[in-house]
């Protein structure tokens, strides 16, 4: 086993919360670019979606229900075919 493989095994043995923290840090370290227009684009999306909600063009669902639906779909994908 190489040193790198040993470190990977060590990290994978950490508690879930610690692994999640490291994963976020590793992903953030890969993103060196900054999209200066991102804030403006997100604000445009927020404004458009807010108008759609106000005008009754879309129906909202509780966040808990959305998360449950996503988890159900992810779990279904993980099941062997």
Instruction: Answer whether 12's CB lies under 8 Å from 19's CB.
Output: yes
Instruction: Answer whether 22's CB lies under 8 Å from 11's CB.
Output: yes
pLDDT tens track for 40-81 = 999 999 999 999 999 999 999 999 999 999 999 999 998 876
From the list 45, 67, 11, the residue with the least C-alpha distance to 75 is: 67
Query: Model-level pTM?
Result: 0.45
Instruction: Provide the pLDDT for residue 81.
Output: 66
Q: Which residue has the tokens 């159900």?
A: 72
DSSP string for 5-50: HHHHHHHHTS-HHHHHHHHHHHHHHH-----TTHHHHHHHHHHHHH
pLDDT tens track for 9-41 = 999 999 999 999 999 999 888 877 778 898 899
Cα 65 off chain centre by: 17
* Domain range summary for the chain, segments of one domain joined by +: 1-32, 33-81
């Amino acid at each position: 086993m190489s040193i790198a493989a040993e470190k990977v095994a060590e990290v994978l043995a950490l508690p879930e919360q610690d692994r999640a923290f490291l994963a976020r840090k590793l992903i953030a370290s890969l993103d060196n670019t900054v999209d200066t227009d991102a804030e403006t684009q997100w604000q445009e999306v927020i404004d458009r979606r807010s108008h759609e909600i106000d005008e009754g063009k879309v129906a909202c669902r509780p966040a808990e229900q959305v998360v449950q639906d996503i988890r159900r779909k992810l779990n279904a994908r993980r099941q062997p075919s």
